[in-house]
Chains A and B, each alone.
Chain A
Amino acid sequence: MLPDMTRIFSLLLACLAVVAAGCGGGDDKSPSSQPAKPAAPSSGGASSGITITMKNIAFDPKEQTVKVGQKVTWRNEDAVDHNVVAREGAKFSSENFGEGGTYSYTPKTAGKIEYTCTLHPGMDGELTVSG
């Protein structure tokens, strides 16, 4: 009796799931995949911004040249949280953010900025800001 009832429930739910598939949902979303809101200054840049991806526990590209006033956005494409924290040349520090999350910073002065993900030792990057 019980197995039959379970199969009936499973079948019913499967049919409902197929109907509901077009409405989105599903079970692939995890709490960690909520995109993080940008938490850094994002003043209008002098030119189009650039994006640095965070994938396979590394920044890509690891070294990037940008102009003063050009917005830099880091995007997490890993399944694990990351952050972006300046070590030298600037003062910015993001919260930890999960897959799909972004963080932006716009440099105001020329120079070299070294940054890191504090959660993953060795995950470092560098911005060269030209005037």
Chain B
Amino acid sequence: MRVLTWNVFHGRAEPPARRSLEREFAAALAGWDWDVALLQEVPPWWPARLAAEHDVALTSRNALLPVRRWLAERWPDLMRSSGGSANAILVRGQRIAARGHRRLRLWPERRVVQAVRLEPSGWWVANLHATAHSDPRARADLLLAASTVLRWSGDAAPVVLGGDLNQPRPQVDGFEHAGGHHVDHVLARGLQAAGRPQVMQRGELSDHAPVVVELEGSEAGKRHAA
């Protein structure tokens, strides 16, 4: 399974395009080969238009969202993060059988871990945007997200935990590092990377590069499940 993680920077480009780039982001995502996409800093109204099978977790600055949306669709570089924000999991080729959302913190910004159980694979896939500009907070977000997802998934199911972890070398008990780039990473339990992580060319879209990590069942995972 190919897992893509991408912080989409509230749908903006670097340098600023000063217009909505929803079409460009959608085209980029549509053109890449992935089975699950973990997106962070997504305008909350985007995911339903990006994939039929999806899960959205609102994060911060979403009060009066219709007003924010109206403004952000016209002046995205003026509104920036004030245009509303969400994390999203997009799925191709499988169905979301179960969902879980847990708020990790409210301060300095609301952070959430979201997870879905996919069928028919039975894999759990979780998405996190950890707190920025604070290593201890980012670390705490990751630890709480990891323990939450492991509890949701039970002992045997393969688990993927990825996203913008805001740490260059994330480590957490129960997970192996499968691949990543800068602060965007994919961790896994019962799975292993099938190759090197692939950094996708996104032109000027976002201030983060999208990363694709291909995962396959590990021998350890198979023994664990048995």
- Listed in ascending order, the chain A residues whose CB lies under 8 Å from chain B are 2, 5-6, 9-10, 13, 16-17, 20-21, 25-33, 56-57, 78-82, 96, 98, 119-122
B28: chain A residues at CB < 8 Å are none
**A6 to nearest B CB, angstroms?**
6
A121: chain B residues at CB < 8 Å are 154-156
| Complex CA–CA separation, A25 to B64 (angstroms) | 8
| Interface 0/1 of B90-105, CB less than 8 Å to A | 0000000111111100
Q: Tell whether, in the assembled complex, residue A17 and residue B156 are in contact, meaning their CB atoms are under 8 Å apart.
A: no
| Interface 0/1 of B58-83, CB less than 8 Å to A | 11111111011001000001111010
A120: chain B residues at CB < 8 Å are 152, 154
The 3 closest A-B pairs by CB, nearest first: A80-B100, A27-B62, A81-B98
Contact of A2 with B63 at beta-carbon distance under 8 Å, contacts A13-B82, A80-B100, A80-B115 already known: no
- Which of B97, B112, B151 lies in contact with A119, CB distance below 8 A? B97
Contact of A6 with B155 at beta-carbon distance under 8 Å, contacts A28-B103, A33-B101, A80-B100 already known: no
**A67 to nearest B CB, angstroms?**
32
Contact of A17 with B154 at beta-carbon distance under 8 Å, contacts A29-B58, A80-B115, A81-B99 already known: no
B148: chain A residues at CB < 8 Å are 79
| Complex CA–CA separation, A45 to B71 (angstroms) | 54
**Chain A residue with the shortest CB-CB distance to B65:** A27
Contact of A31 with B56 at beta-carbon distance under 8 Å, contacts A13-B68, A17-B64, A119-B98 already known: yes
Q: Tell whether, in the assembled complex, residue B78 and residue A96 are in contact, meaning their CB atoms are under 8 Å apart.
A: no
**A93 to nearest B CB, angstroms?**
14
Q: Tell whether, in the assembled complex, residue A9 and residue B110 are in contact, meaning their CB atoms are under 8 Å apart.
A: no
Q: How many A-B residue pairs have CB under 8 A?
A: 89
| Complex CA–CA separation, A33 to B114 (angstroms) | 12
Q: Tell whether, in the assembled complex, residue A27 and residue B56 are in contact, meaning their CB atoms are under 8 Å apart.
A: no
Q: Tell whether, in the assembled complex, residue B78 and residue A6 are in contact, meaning their CB atoms are under 8 Å apart.
A: yes
Q: Tell whether, in the assembled complex, residue B63 and residue A25 are in contact, meaning their CB atoms are under 8 Å apart.
A: yes
List B residues 107-125 near A (Cβ within 8 Å): 110, 112, 114-115, 117
Q: Is B184 an interface residue (CB 8 A)?
A: no
- Which of A6, A13, A57, A98 lies in contact with B152, CB distance below 8 A? A57
B110: chain A residues at CB < 8 Å are 27
**Chain A residue with the shortest CB-CB distance to B157:** A121
**Chain B residue with the shortest CB-CB distance to A31:** B56
Q: Is B57 an interface residue (CB 8 A)?
A: yes
**Chain B residue with the shortest CB-CB distance to A14:** B63
Q: Tell whether, in the assembled complex, residue A10 and residue B82 are in contact, meaning their CB atoms are under 8 Å apart.
A: yes
| Complex CA–CA separation, A120 to B56 (angstroms) | 22
B57: chain A residues at CB < 8 Å are 30
Q: Is B55 an interface residue (CB 8 A)?
A: yes
| Complex CA–CA separation, A27 to B68 (angstroms) | 13
**A128 to nearest B CB, angstroms?**
26
Q: Tell whether, in the assembled complex, residue A20 and residue B63 are in contact, meaning their CB atoms are under 8 Å apart.
A: yes
